Amino acid sequence: MTTVKTLLSLPGLRLRVRAGAALLDRPVSRIYVTELPDPGRYVSAGELVLSGLLWWRGPGDSEAFVAALAKAGAAGLAASGADSDGIPEDLVEACTRHRIPLLEVPADLSFSVVTERVVLALAAAAEGARKRLLSAATEDVPMETLLDRARAELGLPCRVVPATAPDELVRRFVAAGGRSLEADDVSIRPVGGRHAVPWLLAIGGRLTAAQAEIAEELAGLIGLARTRADEVRAVTDRVVEPLLAALDEGSDPHAALTATGLRGDLRVVVARAEGSEAARGILTELLPPGALVGPAGETTWAVAEDDGEWPDDWPATVTAALVGVESLLPCRRVLIGISDRSPVSALRGAKEVARYALAVAAERAGAVEVVPGGEIGMHRLLLAGASDDLRAALRRRVLGPLLSYDAEQGTDLVHTLRVFLECSGSPTRAARTLHVHVNTLRYRIGRASELLGVDLTEFTEQLDVYLALSAGS
């Protein structure tokens, strides 16, 4: 990083400090030459302003000039007194008052020489910064250490933000189509690499050309670090594969579970990324630390511990996060099913719950659908274990006479009966839902009872009939 103090040691410049000796650690981003009496609209933060003081006519002129530099956030002022009989005292006083470092340029030194040396110093610093960051990445330092070094090189705050984070910067990043974005308050760069869920690099301020080069290098290095971490995790996560296989095969999962290191109650999660193999990357990004995720594919399974801290709003949070970056995801739809919290003894059943929750998600229309097992009624989960042929046979056995009557008469007693049962057997509520008179509703239910040969006011009969109705959905 090039600072005002760095410029004092550049060979041949012979710069001398006239004010702000305690402020020389300010970083310099570029050099700007001006002779305007009020250059504020043209000066950017971090710039070293170079002036021959042609704007100075007498005491009092310095106040507006220096105030404009301070407001713009200039790093300092390098001034030559060749045309003003030396550096004016009011300029020294104004720089002291507004906390602007003031360097005196020798009267015999050309501004072209000053500009050239400063530009070369900035370029060398940028190249050095890139080499130092590359060296840090090669050393495989933690990402936070890499960011610490980047902050020192850039002289600006910077952080990595996953695109699933509830962050205003993410919204701006998505609005820019996932491309680099420059604003006065922040510069955003997409982190390099092919990842299911993108990350962005946010740097606090508008970047100079040299800083932009460093930022691009940094974004690429972070992407490499993330790829390395993903590769390591993929190897670590392979311990879950025997457990998933045991659950599918019906064999004893305890030995495989012991190898995973998972303890206590667990949840099984399954994700499908339609049209890509992004499901593993999505689950890796969204699941809590410690979760083990299966191999990449359009559909990927995961197992995670639930010590009672699993957030109740996880499905809604995940849905909102994915919907927010839907345009950047490498797939047509994202579907996720989550089991209930289950002990080890019920893990096979938990996997089936997650599987059916995924099937329910697939029936829905959204581009992102996250369905927890708790949303699905017990009867639907029980019926999910039956084949299509078995469900059709059971439906025909229980509802056959009613189905035939509707087909012959052009009526829809099946629908009326379903609404009646879903209204807890209340004629009043069912009539209101169907927009018919309550006596009409009672007549239809009575006719359905006759056709089926059952008492539809009896709970056990209602249960059998409702399961048969659900078997067709």
Looking at this protein, which amino acid is placed at residue 70? A
Domain boundary among 227, 245, 277: 227
Residues 356 and 406 in one domain: no
Provide the pLDDT confidence category of residue 291 given band limits of 50, 70 and 90: very high
379 has a pLDDT exceeding 70: no
Same domain, residue pair 262 and 354: yes
Q: What is the CATH number of the domain that holds 155?
A: 3.30.450.40
Residue 63 to residue 58: CA distance in whole angstroms: 11
Least confident interval from 70-74, 125-129, 292-296 = 125-129
How high is the mean pLDDT of the chain? 85
**Contact between 8 and 15 (Cβ < 8 Å):** yes
Query: What are the residues facing 305 on neighbouring strands?
Result: 266
Pairing of strands 334-338, 266-273: antiparallel
Distances (CA, A) of 181 to 46, 172, 184, 200, 226: 20, 8, 10, 10, 22
Q: Are 430 and 441 in contact (CB under 8 A)?
A: yes
| Range(s) of the domain holding residue 453 | 388-471
Last residue of a domain, one of 343, 376, 409: 376
State the pLDDT confidence band at 454, using cuts at 50, 70 and 90: confident
Give me the CATH number covering residue 56. 3.40.1390.20
State residue 129's pLDDT score.
65
